[in-house]
């Protein structure tokens, strides 16, 4: 693994030193450094947490479930469709709100078409939420 990382760093160091004003050196080198630091720090924390922890497992800790009681039903029971429906609706509305963040940041630089396009998007999102609400998909009854 260390040999691979060493070859990777040497390859990118050589390619970055050969290209004086390349896009990789200008824009992506800092991203590469951040990814390498994050990977190295994650690896160090993982290794240190394994060696520094006091490992004295108890019988309760080694049991199948730590919650305190044994399972009383089969794990293959069918769930109600409402759980899946709520999860899918959460994902849909949560992912659609991600499009609002860049709009909020760059709203001062948008023209009227960009502004009204997002207003239309928010309006359609509200119509979808109202439809799901009236359909009763958000109620647990």
Helices 112-135, 81-97: inter-axial angle, 10-degree rounding? 170
Same structural domain for residues 99 and 59? no
Same structural domain for residues 1 and 27? yes
Give the per-residue pLDDT at 99.
83
Same structural domain for residues 94 and 71? no
Q: Is residue 104 part of a domain?
A: yes
Same structural domain for residues 8 and 27? yes
Structural domain boundaries, residue 50 = 1-76
The total of structural domains in the chain comes to: 2
Q: Is residue 141 part of a domain?
A: no
- pLDDT tens, position by position, for the chain (141 residues)? 555 555 555 555 555 555 555 666 677 788 888 999 999 999 999 999 888 887 777 776 666 665 656 666 666 777 777 778 888 888 888 888 888 888 888 888 889 998 899 899 999 989 988 988 888 877 776
Give the per-residue pLDDT at 48.
92
Same structural domain for residues 11 and 47? yes
Give the per-residue pLDDT at 63.
67
Same structural domain for residues 65 and 5? yes
Give the per-residue pLDDT at 116.
92
pLDDT tens sequence across 90-118: 888 888 888 888 888 888 888 999 889 98
Same structural domain for residues 103 and 121? yes
Q: Is residue 140 part of a domain?
A: no
Same structural domain for residues 60 and 101? no
Give the per-residue pLDDT at 75.
66
Give the per-residue pLDDT at 44.
96
Give the per-residue pLDDT at 129.
87
Same structural domain for residues 14 and 67? yes
Q: State residue 28 phi and psi, 5-degree precision.
A: -100, -10
Give the per-residue pLDDT at 85.
82
Domain boundary among 76, 104, 122: 76
């Amino acid at each position: 693994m260390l040999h691979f990382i060493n070859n990777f760093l040497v390859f990118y160091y050589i390619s970055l030193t050969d290209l004086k004003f390349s896009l990789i050196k200008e824009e992506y080198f800092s991203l590469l450094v951040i990814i390498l630091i994050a990977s190295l720090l994650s690896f160090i924390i993982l290794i240190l947490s394994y060696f520094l922890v006091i490992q004295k497992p108890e019988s309760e800790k080694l049991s199948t479930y730590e919650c305190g009681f044994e399972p009383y039903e089969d794990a293959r029971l069918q769930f109600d469709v409402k759980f899946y429906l709520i999860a899918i609706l959460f994902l849909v509305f949560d992912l659609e709100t991600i499009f609002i963040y860049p709009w909020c940041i760059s709203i001062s630089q948008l023209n009227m078409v960009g502004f009204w396009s997002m207003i239309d998007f928010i309006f359609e999102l509200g119509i979808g939420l109202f439809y799901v609400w009236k359909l009763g998909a958000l109620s647990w009854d």
